[in-house]
Chains A and B, each alone.
Chain A
Amino acid sequence: MFTFLHKYASPQYFYSWSASWQKWASIIAALLMSVGLYYSLLNSPADYQQGETVRIMYVHVPAAWLSMFGYMVMASAAIVTLIWRIKVAEIMIAQCAVIGASFTALALITGMLWGKPMWGAYWVWDARLTSELVLLFLYFGVIALSGAFDDERAGARAAAILTLVGIVNIPIIHYSVEWWNTLHQGPTVSKFDSPSAHPSMLIPLLVMALAFKAYFFAVLFKRARTELLLRERNTSWVKALLKEAV
């Protein structure tokens, strides 16, 4: 099984099979995104309290979900890196961190834009926003650490250890922030509660969430392939590939 794994994870193999994965992920992302955006922006009911601003949710919530999901993918890559030393997984860690941090930032920005009409202020120390902020810090740490080493492989291993320490810590951080929030602000009804309400809102939300995930993988494969070419530029298979392209 391990030889199988090593074969499919070898840089050259990965480069060839990931091409079609990247293509399909992009297509699925584009399709789902157009359907999801149509329903969420044009063909779903406005909230009886929040009015049209509720539509920010269709970007904010999927982005927030993806920020967590990205960390999980990064942690999986970290485990593979530490156990099997697979180059492709090493590359994935830093790429996951960059994309994950972008979506965390997106979740924060959309949360702030939503906060203005809701609370009358761009920033409120809401539990979820605060958790997202700490998550962004964790992503920054991984990005900074993996880039700080002269030797990329050592950087990836260091980032992998940090990621795994983070994955143990994230639930504790999340829980502590939630608790801190309820004690300081009283148990207000969070506007970020998943809409248990109506399928007309839930379905576009789920479509958007899937679209974001497909987009995540499309970008992840694209970035990983580019980085792989850069790192393997001196190997024979990349040179052969370049000759073909020219």
Chain B
Amino acid sequence: MRLFLFIFKRDMLLAIRRRRELANPLVFFIMVVSMFPLGVTPDHAFLAELSAGVIWVTALLAALISMDSMFRSDYGDGSLEQLLLMPGSKVVLISAKIAAHWVSIGLPLVIIAPLMSFLLFLPPQALPSLIITLLISTPILSLLGAVGVALTLSLRGGGVLSSLLTLPFYVPVLIFSTMAINAAAVNQPVSGYYALLAAFLIVSILLVPFAVVAALRVSYN
């Protein structure tokens, strides 16, 4: 636990020092969402139907472009080596880094998502489920993204490749989340979807850090 807090604090401090970079995924999120009415139609009913999917796909992309910051700068300056050589559980270390990444990237996405829902006329009764699905699922995005980044750390241009590796794994998150929002929009029960997402989150929390540790070992090969 001490190790977890130490790493978490360190990464949060670094994130605060790099706050300009933190804003980039958010700006990206807002820009891409606002491209849809321009590219498709400003029609109220049509956008309302599209909104859950658009917001979610855009959130996936925004999370993906920010994934690199999780390990790459630490890998580049040698501090990841030092962290891995600390006596202490590697799984805890990785979990702390992923948690810090989620707080600095995923959480802000959740917070500005309601704003996006106004732009796209998401039915108001679906707004709570948008926020809840984002809250449960953005940690999954950070977790699965961490595997992709860790596997491609030692490669030139690994960022794009890691997106390609990660995106297929995001399919269930996307499906369950948008289904929940669409169900909420027509006043249908949604708790089943939340349960599924939560189960997916728990499985990811339990398994992903081990995969990341193994992947980092390959990157240091």
B155-179 CB mask vs A (1 if < 8 Å, else 0) is 1001001001101110110011001
Chain A residues positioned under 8 Å from B171 (CB to CB): 134, 173, 176-177
Chain B residues positioned under 8 Å from A138 (CB to CB): 168
A169 to B143, CA, bound (A): 13
In the complex, are the beta carbons of B221 and A82 less than 8 A apart? no
Is A118 positioned at the interface, with any CB of B under 8 Å from its CB? no
Is B28 positioned at the interface, with any CB of A under 8 Å from its CB? no
Is B207 positioned at the interface, with any CB of A under 8 Å from its CB? yes
A125 to B196, CA, bound (A): 23
A153 to B171, CA, bound (A): 30
Q: Which residue of A lies closest to B208 (CB)?
A: A165
A33 to B81, CA, bound (A): 54
Is B215 positioned at the interface, with any CB of A under 8 Å from its CB? yes
From A145, A162, A165, A172, name the one whose CB has the most chain B CB atoms within 10 angstroms.
Answer: A165
In the complex, are the beta carbons of B168 and A148 less than 8 A apart? no
In the complex, are the beta carbons of A157 and B161 less than 8 A apart? no
A148 to B151, CA, bound (A): 11
Chain B residues positioned under 8 Å from A172 (CB to CB): 172, 200
Is A197 positioned at the interface, with any CB of B under 8 Å from its CB? no
Chain B residues positioned under 8 Å from A164 (CB to CB): 211
- Which residues 26-72 of B have a CB within 8 angstroms of A? none
Distance (Å) between the CB of B218 and the closest chain A CB? 5
Chain A residues positioned under 8 Å from B214 (CB to CB): 82, 161
Main secondary structure of the interface of A (DSSP, over half): helix
In the complex, are the beta carbons of A173 and B165 less than 8 A apart? no
Total residues of chain B contacting the partner, CB 8 A = 26
Q: Which residue of B lies closest to A175 (CB)?
A: B172
A165 to B213, CA, bound (A): 13
Is A206 positioned at the interface, with any CB of B under 8 Å from its CB? no
Q: Which residue of B lies closest to A178 (CB)?
A: B175
In the complex, are the beta carbons of B179 and A183 less than 8 A apart? yes
Is A158 positioned at the interface, with any CB of B under 8 Å from its CB? yes
Is B129 positioned at the interface, with any CB of A under 8 Å from its CB? no
Is B147 positioned at the interface, with any CB of A under 8 Å from its CB? yes
In the complex, are the beta carbons of B221 and A151 less than 8 A apart? yes
Is A56 positioned at the interface, with any CB of B under 8 Å from its CB? no
Distance (Å) between the CB of B13 and the closest chain A CB? 30
In the complex, are the beta carbons of A137 and B179 less than 8 A apart? no
A112 to B23, CA, bound (A): 43
In the complex, are the beta carbons of A176 and B151 less than 8 A apart? no
Distance (Å) between the CB of B125 and the closest chain A CB? 19
Is B152 positioned at the interface, with any CB of A under 8 Å from its CB? yes
A154 to B158, CA, bound (A): 15
Distance (Å) between the CB of B148 and the closest chain A CB? 8
Is A179 positioned at the interface, with any CB of B under 8 Å from its CB? yes
In the complex, are the beta carbons of B172 and A176 less than 8 A apart? yes
- Cross-interface CB contact of B211 among A141, A161, A173, cutoff 8 Å: A161
Q: Which residue of A lies closest to B182 (CB)?
A: A183
Chain B residues positioned under 8 Å from A166 (CB to CB): 168-169
A145 to B152, CA, bound (A): 8
A149 to B218, CA, bound (A): 10
- Cross-interface CB contact of B155 among A134, A148, A175, cutoff 8 Å: A148
A154-188 CB mask vs B (1 if < 8 Å, else 0) is 10011001101110110011011101100100000
In the complex, are the beta carbons of A161 and B151 less than 8 A apart? yes
In the complex, are the beta carbons of A176 and B161 less than 8 A apart? no
Distance (Å) between the CB of B102 and the closest chain A CB? 19
Q: Can you list 6 A-B contacts with CB-CB less than 8 angstroms, sorted by A residue number? A: A145-B151, A157-B218, A158-B152, A158-B219, A175-B172, A176-B176
Known contacts A153-B221, A158-B219, A179-B179; can you find 9 more A-B pairs with CB under 8 A? A134-B171, A145-B165, A154-B218, A158-B218, A161-B211, A164-B211, A168-B207, A169-B172, A177-B171
